[in-house]
Structure 1
Amino acid sequence: MAGHVIPHFQNDAGYHVIEIGVTEFMCVGANPPFDHPHVFMDLGDDGEKVCGYCSTLYRYNPQLHADETKPAGCLYVDKAA
């Protein structure tokens, strides 16, 4: 079992760019029920990547923690029972 959790990010507000504090994550698009397939993304050496489903540009910001985004509020938290 993995020793860490992969964070998930959403973009309900339709931001063009979201800065994140990790280089590996899952993009869910908008919050359910308007989400797209949850896709694993790796920013690689470039430090940024566009999601092929929702066109959000994710950019690595080393000053942010794994659960922080800029603009704030883009961390996806599953509300499962």
Structure 2
Amino acid sequence: MAHHAIPHFANDQGVAVVHVGVKEFNCMGARAPFDHPHIYLDMGSDTEIVCPYCSTLYKFDAKLHDDQSDPPGALVEMPATV
């Protein structure tokens, strides 16, 4: 079993497209208290996916690291779990 956290992304800026460096992640809409249920999204072999809650379009960008986004700041630091 993997022991890494799944990244969470939020679209606080309300942009139409968020570019991310991962294909599996959780979308939370915006940061609390304006978040929606944190939904797991998996692009699979595709390079983009739309969140069914907030309609944010996420596009995979291989030039970005797993902790980066464009626009910057969409990655949400989640508390560590045991």
TM-score by length of 2: 0.90
The equivalent of 2:31 in structure 1 is 31
Deviation at 1:42, TM superposition (A): 0.2
| Structure 1 alignment gaps of length 5 or more | none
More strand by share: 1
The gaps in structure 2 that reach 5 residues or longer are none
Structure 1 stretches of 4+ moved >6 Å: none
Report the counterpart of residue 52 of structure 1 in structure 2: 52
Aligned length: 80
**Which amino acid is the alignment partner of residue 35 of structure 1?**
D
CA RMSD of aligned residues (A): 1.4
| TM-score for the superposition, normalised by structure 1 | 0.91
Identity %: 54
> Quick one: which amino acid aligns to residue 4 of structure 1?
H
